[in-house]
Structure 1
Amino acid sequence: MNETVVDLLAGNARHAQQFADRFDDVQDAQHPVAVTVCCSDSRVLQDQMWGNEQPGHLFTVGNIGNRVVQLGAAGEEVADDVLYPIAHTGTETAVVVGHTGCGAVTGAYRALAEAGSEPAGIEHSLRLLAPHLEAGVAALPDGLDTAEAVNRLVEYNVDQQVASLVESERVPDALDVVGAVYDFQDVYGGERGEIHVVNVGGVRRVDALRDAHPEVADRIDRVWEY
């Protein structure tokens, strides 16, 4: 057996032992408190970033660029894997989580600004992502290096994904939608691995968000207020 798989199975054995008595309440149904939409990246620990160790507590969705949309018969629509917990499990909160140094945003930025190319499967995801970033790329300040541009566009992408949920007819108006960025590159000045709120229900001005949510004011920040 591949040694990597052997190591993974050993880790799973520890997991199974630790979690053996934590599945009793979710044997037949799930009622997660939130659906989180994160980027598919090995550095983004989708459950552990929240300190979650309880099965059934969070419904986690991961894809290239933390997108909430897919292409349907009538065009772009909220993705089924995001919609499912909202429609069928009573979930009333959605959190879109981007991350610093995002490779998907970098790829989309290069495709828009530098005419880069990716393999066909990745291109499909970038084609879904790039239109949401095009206006953001055009609005970037002059003189930014690629890393600075990408981290601004990470926030911009989160804003666009939040807007897609807020404006969708498929999503109940009562759904609370929050946009955030997971930082492991010292961009926001906090601890590595901290989550910084950048958008709540379409509101993205830091001062307005801090006034409205004083209980988490120290966790609200942006690198780009456009």
Structure 2
Amino acid sequence: MNQFVRELLAGNAAHAAAFDGRFDDLQEGQTPRAVTVCCSDSRVLQDAMWDNTEPGTLFTCGNIGNRVIQETDEGTVVSGDVLYPLAHTGTETAVVVGHTGCGAVTAAYEVLINGLDEPAGIEHCLELLKPHLAPGIERLPDDLSREAEINRLVEYNVDRQIEHLRNSTDVPDSVTAVGVVYDFQDQYDGKRGEIHVINIDGETDVDALQAAHPEIESRIERLWEY
């Protein structure tokens, strides 16, 4: 057996010992308080970033580019894995989590700017991002570094995913959609690993967000108000 798999199983044994009693109230179903849509980047610790250790609290989805959409015969729709808790478990909060230095946003950027060949599966994922990022590239200021452009497009991508949620007739009107960026590259004010709120229900103006949500004023920050 691969040594690292053995280490993973040992870690799981410790997890099972610590969590044994935490599943008693979850045997028959779940009512998660939020669905989080995170990038599947290994640097984005999807439960740990919230300091969450309680089963049943978060319905966590992960994919490259923290996308909320999928393509079907009926067109572009909110992905079933994101929609399920909103439609069936009473979950009324959706959080889209982008992150600094996102590889999927970077790849989509490179395809749009320079062209880039990827395996078909990755290309399919990028095709879901490209049409929504292209207008953002057109809006970028001229004096930015490549890194700065990509991190602004990270915000732009989160905004587009929130827009998809808000425009979908499948998502209940009661759902609050929050867009955030997880920073481990010192792009925002704050510590590495902090989450910065950039969008609440489609509002992206920092002053307006801070005025509406003074209790989290210090956590509301954007790199780019386009």
- TM class, shorter-length: over 0.9
Alignment of 1:1-226 (within 5 A): 1-226=1-226
Q: Distance in 2 between matches of 1:127 and 1:172?
A: 27
Q: Distance in 1 between matches of 2:11 and 2:29?
A: 26
Amino acid at match of 1:128: L
Computed over aligned residues only, the root mean square deviation of the Cα atoms, in angstroms, reads: 0.6
Question: After TM superposition, what 4+ stretches of structure 1 lie above 6 angstroms from structure 2?
Answer: none
- The one-character-per-residue Cα deviations of 1:42-85 (angstroms, maximum 9, x if unpaired) are 00011111110000000000001000000011110000000000
Give the CA deviation at 1:174.
Answer: 1.1
Give the CA deviation at 1:113.
Answer: 1.1
Q: Distance in 2 between matches of 1:107 and 1:133?
A: 11
Stretches of structure 2 lacking an aligned partner (at least 5 in a row) = none
Give the CA deviation at 1:144.
Answer: 1.8
Give the CA deviation at 1:143.
Answer: 2.4
Amino acid at match of 1:135: P
Give the CA deviation at 1:123.
Answer: 0.4
- How many residues align structurally? 226
Amino acid at match of 2:91: T
- The one-character-per-residue Cα deviations of 1:68-107 (angstroms, maximum 9, x if unpaired) are 0000111100000000000111000000000000000000
% identical aligned pairs: 64
Q: Distance in 1 between matches of 2:120 and 2:199?
A: 32
Give the CA deviation at 1:178.
Answer: 0.3
- The one-character-per-residue Cα deviations of 1:18-55 (angstroms, maximum 9, x if unpaired) are 11111111111000000000001100011111110000
SS at match of 1:9: helix
Stretches of structure 1 lacking an aligned partner (at least 5 in a row) = none
More moved, 143-152 vs 41-50? 143-152
Q: Distance in 2 between matches of 1:73 and 1:28?
A: 34
SS at match of 1:20: helix
Give the CA deviation at 1:196.
Answer: 0.3
- The one-character-per-residue Cα deviations of 1:183-203 (angstroms, maximum 9, x if unpaired) are 011100201110000000000
Give the TM-score normalised by structure 2.
0.99
Q: Distance in 2 between matches of 1:20 and 1:41?
A: 29
Q: Distance in 2 between matches of 1:125 and 1:143?
A: 29
Amino acid at match of 2:20: A
Q: Distance in 2 between matches of 1:65 and 1:207?
A: 27
Give the TM-score normalised by structure 1.
0.99
Give the CA deviation at 1:117.
Answer: 2.0
Give the CA deviation at 1:126.
Answer: 0.1
Amino acid at match of 1:208: A
Amino acid at match of 1:192: R
